[in-house]
Structure 1
Amino acid sequence: MVPRPTSLLAWLLSTLAAIVLIGAGLPGPAAAAATTTGVKFVDIPGDGVTLKANVVAPAAAGSYPAVVFPSSWGLNDVEYIAQATSMAAAGYVVVSYTPRGWWASGGEIDTAGPADMADLSKVLDWTLANTPADPARLGTAGVSYGAGISLLGAAFDKRIRAVAMLSGWTDLNYSLYSDQTRHLQSAGLLGLAAQLVGHPSAELTTMLGDFTANRNIATVMEWAKVRSPATYLDRINANAPAVMIANAWGDTFFPPNQLADFYGKLTTPKRLELRPGDHAIAELTGILGLPNDVWTSVRGWFDRYLKSDANGTQPGKVYLKPDNAAAETWSSWGAQTTSTKRYGLGAIRWYDGTGLLGGSPTTGWSKSLPNDLDTVANGGVVLLTNGISAFTGLRPTIWLPFVDRNRAGVWAAERPSTALKVRGIPKVHLNLTGTAANGSLVAYLYDLDSLGNAALLTHAPATWLSGTAGSRTLDVSLSAVNYDVPAGHSLTLVVDTVDPLYYDANSAGTITVAGGSYLDLPVK
């Protein structure tokens, strides 16, 4: 097993919290102060607990649309002050609150469960009773934890007419156990935050303990299912709120594949936006009160659905900002993919330890990978690796010759004369022989230049827990990607057995990848 990087997680949490809390305290424009009531800190009665909150509203008398912001996991209600002040100056009542169990709010952490849903409805009640909010024009929004609570709330409270979910989840089980692989760093950071600035419930402590120990999996998954918007998709569709979803390609907490699936099944007015970065990175500068196109979309979304502004953010669109190309807007998620190109995995060459990626899948070869021996190919560090990439515009990069061919399989495609436009969810099909009953693999897709520099496009782990040793096939859906591989570069696949982002299920021995394996690549 990979050890838990506790000190690193503590540093990441404290750094993120400091940035957001300092930025949230920045004063808004003078014009905003003159046209709003100013920020007022209040106590709101939740469902049997007191919730710490703040409210800012237009100064002029009247009836206004209102937006409620639950704060992010580990943060509190001051998180949204910059945006709340700006929105109030534009004619919104904005109430931000700290969910139960966090900071000074009462109760214990419910992890977007039934108690949090009841609290959100109580906050809406308080907003209508104590502010000039129009009951027909209520919205919810948030980042991360606040995003999940906001979307879940729309399933349980019909008064919510518009939702903006930023860096949120739709399937908590996918976030914890995608392809049966437990996510080590992200879950560890969530647990650490709860210990540092929250009051974890006995239930949360038990669930995290069971997750870490890999026990009572069915119980943990049922707990997560209750807290997944996908579970209540029919209710959300029936209530018909306008739903905007914005996230990052490299979100290590809530990978975007789940969002694409959920978005496709929504029948409400809807919009999906994906940008470079990691969890809560794309919207971070907006939290700090700086210009930010995510928050511009959010404002336009509420303008359209709470103010009936036809010039607001358009529904029915999928907005995709690639890492290295111009932004694209599509009518649906699938519209970005023109075709799927199959790349067969060929035999490993003796002289460079690399196989051909391309052509029809071939047979008669195999590549053995030792279990629990890592390589330089990895997904990086939660928040940090893809977060830096969002600000620099540079993908995480390794030097491919440093990938130990005794520990990994490497397959490189021929270098095309034109750019290869990757659009969608790549899938890797692996034929495995002689496997143990349980095991894990990680697949990485790189953009390899002529000097050996390999930029990571996407990756994903996959685990089998069959209880039976022997041959098997393994299908791995890599995280969604939107990227142009430049002309003259080689699309390269690396497969190994360990990544610090995840727990693995490997024991001593080897895993053998055999002929007939291939990569299906969605392209434009």
Structure 2
Amino acid sequence: MTPSRTTLRAAIGTVSAAVLATTVLTGAPATADATTAATPTSAMSTGTTSVKFVDIKGDGGTTLKANVVTPAGADGTRRYPVIVLPTSWALPQVEYLAQAEKLANAGYVVVEYNSRGFWQSGGRIETAGPKDIADASKVIDWTLAHTPADPQKIGMGGVSYGAGISLLASAFDKRIKAVAALSGWGDLIDSIYSGRTQHLQAAALLGGAGALTGRPSAELQEILKNFLTSNLSKEKEMIAWGKKRSPATYLDRINANGAAIMLGNAWGDSLFPPNQYADFYEKLKGPKRLEFRPGDHATAEGTGLLGLPNDTWTNTKRWFDHYLKGVDNGVDRESPVLLKSRSTGAYEGYKSWRDVPSAHRKIALNDTRRIRTNIDSGANGGLIFLSSMLDQFLRMPPMASIPLLPRSAAAVWQSERYATQQRVRGTTRLHTTVTGTAESGTGIAYLYDVGPLGLGRLVSHAPFTFHGKTPNQPFGVDLELFSTAYDVPAGHRLAVVVDSVDPLYIEHNPDGARLTFSSPASDPSYVSVPVRE
């Protein structure tokens, strides 16, 4: 079942308004003219650093609008390490100015540039395609030719889109020695098409913001159209398009080049869930670091973009200081996996992602549950940005009354009450047997922390979709819920809920379809919850 035009327009309108509010706050005007004339280079002084607004020729001669921030007193007699920062999706070139000035004050040349197709940069939005990767190298070329940059000490970084481009560039440009990729992606398909389910609000955000602040390429428009309308005849093309834009595809090249890579993300990232970043991290061979914090997409580092104290940006600078300047600040000797609990706000260090859980608690999904589809049971993952930000700042995740969930629309299982606190850490896994009355269908699995009064607080969730199954024939489903760090208090229990509708996703349940969840004796169904004892 595909979303109606009204639903899509409402979703796109909502996220477009959010992006418009963001861009208005930056004070930078957008342009819809792809042929905007290059403006003369201008400069201003902050009293400590020099900031210049320049035009850089990217791949094919496309003009990229950029800022260059250099240390105070730079006169060409000394070389400085350089950090290149591509902008986030839909944000203007002043996005990183506060951090760029801090880095320049610390002795870096910083170049931030507007990614092609957005705002006043030329070209079309290529969505981290080959032209974007080539642009990154062109910016490095220009930086070495026009600033006091040290060619042996080049770093790249950024938030979201800038993170993805930086990781991709590190696979193709050996000059890049260090990367800080914040709120980015390792696998684009596993991000917005996880469980073979379209992430509706995420795709609407990307499409709406791109149309509002830039000029989407014909290829991107076609991909989004097929994605949002569930055109399965084009699924292979969509997956191939995404793989070309996934750093995980070029993992061998990234490892061979050996850049030191720091990854940062939020537990509730609505665009790029933490699982895919953790999987990518585990496969990196060079110096690496992984940080997860509460929040949604880019909210963990957002205050730093305003120049406010921010742990993510503090560690980003430490990462560059060590791997570009050679500063012995201990970042290379710390536990490389740093997690911040959603429940306590405390940091925890681990030697690898695999070492995060020390045990697993199984919840048996006994007995058979049968549900009607296309009915919103009341269990859901919330709304993009809003829900995870409420969890980040107020510790208020999406909630549902577990006893009141209609069993005709939601399959529910619960654990016994736990005598001690359960520190959920890592990736919860579900295994079950599903029988559908139609060849296609969608389910969304939720894990809730349930208090004495039956109120469930969302711990994690994930969608799954199937196509081409024989109706009324059972098949196995293995699903990873989105990774998290959450403490279940003593006296509470965990509930597993599966229903068929969630505003975050496009569902594929034909009218009148039913889903049955069973637990054969030869293949019992269960949920395995990772815990730290």
TM-score normalised by structure 2 residue count? 0.91
**What does residue 270 of structure 1 align with?**
288
Please point out which of 320, 341, 358 is paired with 2:339: 320
Q: How does 1:146-157 map to 2 (within 5 A)?
A: 146-157=162-173
SS of the residue corresponding to residue 150 of structure 2 reads strand
What is the CA-CA distance between 1:246 and the residue it aligns to?
Answer: 0.1
What is the CA-CA distance between 1:54 and the residue it aligns to?
Answer: 0.7
Contact map agreement 1:145 1:168 (CA 8 A) in 2:
yes
**What does residue 465 of structure 1 align with?**
467
CA–CA separation in structure 2 for the residues paired with 1:494 and 1:238: 43
Contact map agreement 2:11 2:201 (CA 8 A) in 1:
no
Q: How does 1:428-467 map to 2 (within 5 A)?
A: 428-467=430-469
What is the CA-CA distance between 1:435 and the residue it aligns to?
Answer: 3.8
Deviations 1:282-325 (A, max 9, x none): 11100111111011110110011111011053366100011013
**Structure 1 residues without counterparts, runs of 5 or longer:** 26-31, 347-364
Name the CA shift for 1:24/1:251 in 2 (closer, same or farther; >3 Å). Answer: farther
Q: How does 1:398-413 map to 2 (within 5 A)?
A: 398-413=400-415
CA–CA separation in structure 2 for the residues paired with 1:22 and 1:471: 53
Deviations 1:449-478 (A, max 9, x none): 112221101000011113422111111110
User: Counterpart of 2:349 in structure 1: which amino acid?
Assistant: T
CA–CA separation in structure 1 for the residues paired with 2:133 and 2:110: 19
CA–CA separation in structure 2 for the residues paired with 1:415 and 1:2: 39
Deviations 1:256-277 (A, max 9, x none): 1111111111001000000011
**What does residue 41 of structure 2 align with?**
none
Contact map agreement 2:444 2:499 (CA 8 A) in 1:
yes
What is the CA-CA distance between 1:336 and the residue it aligns to?
Answer: 1.3
User: Counterpart of 2:525 in structure 1: which amino acid?
Assistant: S
Asked if residue 41 in structure 1 is aligned to residue 53 in structure 2, the reply is yes
Deviations 1:314-353 (A, max 9, x none): 366100011013211000001111122221123xxxxxxx
User: Counterpart of 1:33 in structure 2: which amino acid?
Assistant: T
**What does residue 353 of structure 2 align with?**
333
**Structure 2 residues without counterparts, runs of 5 or longer:** 29-44
Contact map agreement 1:20 1:79 (CA 8 A) in 2:
no
User: Counterpart of 1:513 in structure 2: which amino acid?
Assistant: F
Please point out which of 373, 383, 388 is paired with 1:386: 388
Please point out which of 506, 513, 518 is paired with 2:517: 513
**What does residue 531 of structure 2 align with?**
523
User: Counterpart of 2:62 in structure 1: which amino acid?
Assistant: V
Q: How does 1:183-202 map to 2 (within 5 A)?
A: 183-202=199-218
CA–CA separation in structure 1 for the residues paired with 2:16 and 2:509: 30
What is the CA-CA distance between 1:208 and the residue it aligns to?
Answer: 1.0
Please point out which of 455, 458, 474 is paired with 2:477: 474
CA–CA separation in structure 1 for the residues paired with 2:279 and 2:261: 14
Asked if residue 128 in structure 1 is aligned to residue 141 in structure 2, the reply is no
CA–CA separation in structure 1 for the residues paired with 2:200 and 2:22: 24
Contact map agreement 1:80 1:96 (CA 8 A) in 2:
yes
User: Counterpart of 2:99 in structure 1: which amino acid?
Assistant: Q
Asked if residue 342 in structure 1 is aligned to residue 342 in structure 2, the reply is no
**What does residue 63 of structure 2 align with?**
50
CA–CA separation in structure 1 for the residues paired with 2:290 and 2:483: 13
Deviations 1:50-84 (A, max 9, x none): 00111111022321111111001111211111111
Contact map agreement 1:2 1:500 (CA 8 A) in 2:
no
Please point out which of 257, 273, 290 is paired with 1:239: 257
SS of the residue corresponding to residue 406 of structure 1 reads coil
User: Counterpart of 2:363 in structure 1: which amino acid?
Assistant: Y
CA–CA separation in structure 2 for the residues paired with 1:452 and 1:191: 39
CA–CA separation in structure 1 for the residues paired with 2:416 and 2:132: 53
User: Counterpart of 1:291 in structure 2: which amino acid?
Assistant: P
Contact map agreement 2:15 2:204 (CA 8 A) in 1:
no
CA–CA separation in structure 2 for the residues paired with 1:290 and 1:130: 30
User: Counterpart of 2:398 in structure 1: which amino acid?
Assistant: P
SS of the residue corresponding to residue 77 of structure 1 reads coil
What is the CA-CA distance between 1:97 and the residue it aligns to?
Answer: 0.5
SS of the residue corresponding to residue 499 of structure 1 reads coil
Name the CA shift for 1:33/1:410 in 2 (closer, same or farther; >3 Å). Answer: same
CA–CA separation in structure 2 for the residues paired with 1:7 and 1:63: 51
- The size of the alignment, in residue pairs, is 499
CA–CA separation in structure 1 for the residues paired with 2:20 and 2:96: 13
Asked if residue 257 in structure 1 is aligned to residue 261 in structure 2, the reply is no
**What does residue 354 of structure 1 align with?**
none
User: Counterpart of 2:48 in structure 1: which amino acid?
Assistant: T
Name the CA shift for 1:16/1:392 in 2 (closer, same or farther; >3 Å). Answer: farther
What is the CA-CA distance between 1:34 and the residue it aligns to?
Answer: 2.7
Name the CA shift for 1:17/1:60 in 2 (closer, same or farther; >3 Å). Answer: farther
Asked if residue 117 in structure 1 is aligned to residue 121 in structure 2, the reply is no
**What does residue 179 of structure 1 align with?**
195
SS of the residue corresponding to residue 283 of structure 1 reads helix
SS of the residue corresponding to residue 390 of structure 2 reads helix
CA–CA separation in structure 1 for the residues paired with 2:336 and 2:108: 25
CA–CA separation in structure 1 for the residues paired with 2:424 and 2:389: 21
User: Counterpart of 2:299 in structure 1: which amino acid?
Assistant: I
% identity of equivalent residues: 51
CA–CA separation in structure 1 for the residues paired with 2:201 and 2:189: 15
**What does residue 351 of structure 1 align with?**
none
SS of the residue corresponding to residue 78 of structure 1 reads coil
SS of the residue corresponding to residue 135 of structure 2 reads helix
Q: How does 1:80-119 map to 2 (within 5 A)?
A: 80-119=96-135
**What does residue 203 of structure 1 align with?**
219
CA–CA separation in structure 2 for the residues paired with 1:274 and 1:374: 31
Contact map agreement 1:2 1:502 (CA 8 A) in 2:
no
What is the CA-CA distance between 1:157 and the residue it aligns to?
Answer: 0.5
